[in-house]
Amino acid sequence: MKFAPVSLLALGALLPGLGSAQLSAKVGPSTTAAAKAAKKTCNITDYGAEAGATGDIGAALKSAWNACKTGGEILNPRENGVSGTIYRTGTAGGHMIIVQKSTDVEFYSGNSKGAMQGYGYEFHKQGTGVYGPRLLRFVSVTDFSVHDMALVDSPAFHFIMDTVTNGEVYNMIVRGGNRGGLDGFNLMAAKNVHVHDVAVTNKDECVTVKNKSSNVLIENVFCNWSGGCAIGSLGADTAISDIHYRNVYTSNSNQMMMIKNNGGDGVFQNATFENFIGHGNAYSLKIDAAWAGQSKAAGDGVEYRNLTFSNWKGTAANGASRGPVVALCAAAVPCENIDVSGINIWTEAGSSIVDRCNNAFGKGHCLRAGSGTGSGTGSAE
């Protein structure tokens, strides 16, 4: 099936609930798929969807959404949710699917065989810096879930959650190309979102939390030949808090976790990173307040405080050149109350590890005791 980029719109009611861990409320749709189907069913084949890998379902999907947007279930093509593959064959930019300004949304595959195929290689073979549409984006969506689907070979990012609340994303795989700019899961201004049981193979970020996010729980993640998980990149007016990553396995990636900014201001605080296992990664933990991958923003830097890293195990590719703990914080805005005492990573090459810390205060490895009232540089073997 061919899919043309469309924008999907719906409105509904918000139902609050209870949550756990770093979550602050109930996550997921406020009504079940069965309840939606009982109200109304909109099969895209009834709206002119064309079958096959070259068939066009774009207009049909939009028509089905409009018919069911006040409550119902959209079928593609014969089972609940997305049971087949949605293919991209056009060359338009933007996104294949955008769901925006919506409440009580469930985007899923009823038989766990659903997928979105972006054929990103058709763009990438044209040269470095050539990208196309992103696969999936949720914008201003509340009470939602996305699950049991594969996102394959996006021309750009795979799944972006932008200004979303009370969401759950699970049982998903991402298989992207071998270059940067093909992020797996990005959370921007995400509030009370649970991402779990996902696997990402690409060459850029795995599951990443960006600015204005809070009360996010990310767990049971496999980053394989990926960029790895990250916070950022961060810049002006940073405000991120209450983030919890746990049970993350990272293999042959750039990092197990990177926290990054270049200038800017604001704070990232109150986060836990626990039960990380890594092998063959360039970096294990890297905090980089002068990250070269972004232009320097106005400001002395982002403040990092109250971050705990516990029960980290495994090996780094070369622990002498890139030690298990690299914490390069800004002199004007030192990192404070950072606990890395739970990181136990050895090296695959050589027989030593060398940590690097600049202006980093807290506990463990090369961090300095006390508060960040002064600057300092240290290393530890």
> Which residues partner with 75 through β-bridges?
43
Q: Which of 204, 242, 265, 355 is catalytic?
A: 204
In the set 46, 197, 279, 339, the catalytic residue is 279
- What residue type is 111 in one-letter code? N
At residue 34, what are phi and psi to the nearest 5 degrees? -65, -40
Degrees to nearest 5, angle at CA 299 with 297 and 301: 90
Ramachandran region of residue 78, left (φ > 0), alpha (ψ -120 to 50) or beta?
A: alpha
| 288 annotated active-site | no
CA dist 212 and 238 (Å) reads 7
Rg (Cα) of the chain, in Å, rounded?
A: 22
- Catalytic, 204? Answer yes
Nearest-5° angle of CA 338, CA 343, CA 349? Answer: 130
Beta-bridge partners for 99: 8, 138
Supply angle C-alpha 108, 248, 272, rounded to 5. Answer: 105
Distance CA 278, CA 268 (A): 24
* Residues with active-site annotation: 204, 279
